[in-house]
Amino acid sequence: MVRRPIRPIGLRGLRVDYPRRGRSNWRRWVPSWRQVLSGILLGSGALAGLFAMVYASVDIPDENAEARRQGTVYYWADGSRMVSVGAVDRQNVTLTGIPDSVKHAVIAAENETFYSDSGVSAKGIARAAVSMVKGGETQGGSTITQQYVKNTYLSQEQSATRKFKEFFISLKLSNQQSKEEILQGYLNTSWFGRGAYGIQAAAHAYYGIPAKDLDPSQAALLASLLKGAELYDPAGGKGNHERAVGRWEWILDRQVEIGTMTKAERAAYQKFPEPRPAAKSTSLGGQTGYLVDIANKYIKKRSGLTDKDLFRGGYRVHTTFDKAKVQQLERAVRDVRKRDLDPKKRSEDKYVEVGAASVRSDGSVAAVYGGADAVTHFANNADTAGVPVGSAFKPFVLAAALQHGDGITLDSGYDNEGRLIKGVPYMAVPALPGAGPGQVMVTTPTPLREALVNSSHATFTQLGKDIGLKKVKELAVSAGLHEESLARLDKSFPLGTSTPSAVRMADAYTAFSNDGMRADPWSVTRMTRDGEAVEGFGKPELRRAMDALVANDVNNTLGMLAWKRLGRDGKLAASDGPMAADDLSAGATGEDDRMKSAWFIGHTKGLTTAVTMFRSKPGTPQLLGMQGVGGPDSGRGNVFPPRIWSAYVTGM
């Protein structure tokens, strides 16, 4: 059989010698260097042609509707409007009105090759696209030009399509506008937190000055916010402050490295430029700002939205807050303060703060009192940890003992030798010398129910040790207290050295009055934007925190404690009306507590409400003492939280 030679492939006269003639075995299939080079040139030409086509087809769109955006509206539980927030805080300025130090800091922080690059970062886009395809977190890496395009011409969605458009629009914009125009636009459209869009609004929000008066140190702090104001605003907590200081230092050092600041200039800025406290809109005055704060925290936790997203506006937020209850709680605090405290007469009555939260049995937050006014007092006393809870923590110790202690009941107690006697309300011991034959003494150890009502420190210190502090902690967390708010496990732990918020204490106590079932506190029933529902909302399911019998035993004991505490003062006693005997329970701090706080957590009418009082002087990290607050008969201030609670529930 005669083999015919393989003829080269022809394409309109073009002869492609492949497989290669004159080669044998595998060598026939290895292209020559000319063929490889031709393939590269042909592929490059095709890609260049495709790139040119796409470049020509992508137009720079009109500026987005950011300036025409709506506010975010919050609604009360009954559907009536609470408040609308999110008006644009932006005042555009020209580049000539922005100091060089601001430009240098921003370029060092965000895009040091800004003046020499083509306006895009292919590496950054590729990295972000790969991350999104893999389902990972979105990543940065965009140039200043790309960020300006995103701010001004595109939506804020994180998608491969948006990144694709961003790339080509940035290229085209870089060819049509000067670097100065792009930098000016970027500085006027960027988000700096605190409701501020643009460098001018940011300078006022953080330092109370126009942008032209910013020094290099302040400029470095504002530049650090471009990485994420929620993480780098120093007022956002200890973690934020540490991150802000670290990035501020890095930006200053980076300017020295790239030659826009001398070492001598850098040496002049060693002290961190602390910004002024965050100011709130006057529309968020009174309790409204605290309510919005709690709703926003819940929104960010459930939906992944950020403060920047919320401030962009257009959302409709339906909350669980009851307008009448919020007003009544505020009125109760105000009336008790006015009647019983006199800071002009008694120095001990100065710097007194109150926090309160009212939670329904399903975990929904009905009302809070965060402070006198959210515009002037920024810390939310209802939702801030840091105030020791004292003897109000003891019910969790009792619950842990009933849950995990084999044979322990409310009748169990300790004898004079410190031994735990289980299951019986009394014990028999040998008779005293001289007694007749066979005679014994009957002694009755103080039962646990009585120890809780009387707030016995010795009993609960020993009970915590016997049951195991770890089990007490686990039950408290199961009931809803944040683990990070719980104190270290030492002998004082059962006495309430932990510092949960009022919201969390009220929510945790719902487990006692709800057969051991509870849900994490929630404040938003639904949320929409442009008529579309935002996912992540709905009524949380109840979870078991403890056995039903355990919860009922503790709750019955708390009912005894409630009547004892409320009946001590004629102003508090209520034998009828809203505080029915079968629907009343409470935990509280006592006069023997040496914590710098006073608490009362009461349940009635389907609501569990926690009230805390403490003294906090601005600029002083430690709480002040409560001794003498309201006069010598105040029991270290312990009479006031139950008075506030009583005024609240009887006024509803």
Lowest pLDDT segment from 49-58, 119-128, 405-414, 424-433: 49-58
Residue 380's pLDDT is 95
Category of 237 on φ-ψ map: left (φ > 0), alpha (ψ -120 to 50) or beta: left
Q: What is the number of other CB atoms lying within 10 angstroms of the CB of residue 344?
A: 8
Q: Work out the pLDDT band at 71, boundaries 50, 70, 90.
A: confident
Q: Tell me if 510 sits within 8 A of 518, measured CB to CB.
A: yes
Q: Is the peptide bond before 494 cis (omega within 30 degrees of 0)?
A: no
Burial class (CB in 10 A: 0-12, 13-18, 19+), 202: buried
Q: Tell me if 509 sits within 8 A of 587, measured CB to CB.
A: yes
Q: Which residues does residue 89 pair with via DSSP β-bridges, in sequence order?
A: 196
Q: What is the mean pLDDT of the chain?
A: 84
CB-based contacts of 112: which residues, under 8 Å, 6+ apart?
254, 258
List the strands of the sheet with 446-447, edge to edge.
420-421, 413-414, 446-447
Q: What is the number of other CB atoms lying within 10 angstroms of the CB of residue 268?
A: 13
Q: In three state form, how does the secondary structure of 143-190 look? A: CHHHHHHHHHHCCCCCCHHHHHHHHHHHHHHHHHCCHHHHHHHHHHHC
* Overall average pLDDT of the 52-58 stretch: 50
Q: Work out the pLDDT band at 575, boundaries 50, 70, 90.
A: very low
Residue 136's pLDDT is 44
Residue 57's pLDDT is 47
Residue 461 CA to residue 236 CA, distance in Å, equals 36
Percent above pLDDT 90 for the chain:
56
∠ CA 426-430-434, rounded to 5°: 135
Residue 645 CA to residue 332 CA, distance in Å, equals 8
Residue 571's pLDDT is 46
Residue 123's pLDDT is 66
Q: Work out the pLDDT band at 522, boundaries 50, 70, 90.
A: very high
Residue 529 corresponds to which amino acid? R
* Overall average pLDDT of the 593-597 stretch: 90
Lowest pLDDT segment from 111-120, 251-260, 476-485: 111-120
Residue 19's pLDDT is 65
Q: Domain extents for the chain?
A: 9-57, 88-267
Residue 578's pLDDT is 45
Q: For residue 490, which phi and psi values (nearest 5 degrees)?
A: -125, -175
Highest average pLDDT, of 19-28, 154-163, 366-375, comes from 366-375
- Check residues 126 and 98 and name the one with the higher pLDDT: 98
Q: Tell me if 316 sits within 8 A of 73, measured CB to CB.
A: yes
* 309-357 tens-digit pLDDT: 887 778 999 999 999 999 999 999 999 999 999 999 999 999 999 999 9
Residue 358 CA to residue 338 CA, distance in Å, equals 22
Residue 596 corresponds to which amino acid? K
Q: Tell me if 320 sits within 8 A of 367, measured CB to CB.
A: no
Q: Work out the pLDDT band at 237, boundaries 50, 70, 90.
A: confident
Residue 424's pLDDT is 61
Asked whether the predicted pLDDT for residue 30 surpasses 90, the reply is no
Kindly report the CATH number that applies to the domain delimited by 88-267. Answer: 1.10.3810.10
Asked whether the predicted pLDDT for residue 5 surpasses 80, the reply is no
> Could you tell me which of 55, 287, 9, 262 has the C-alpha nearest to residue 170?
55
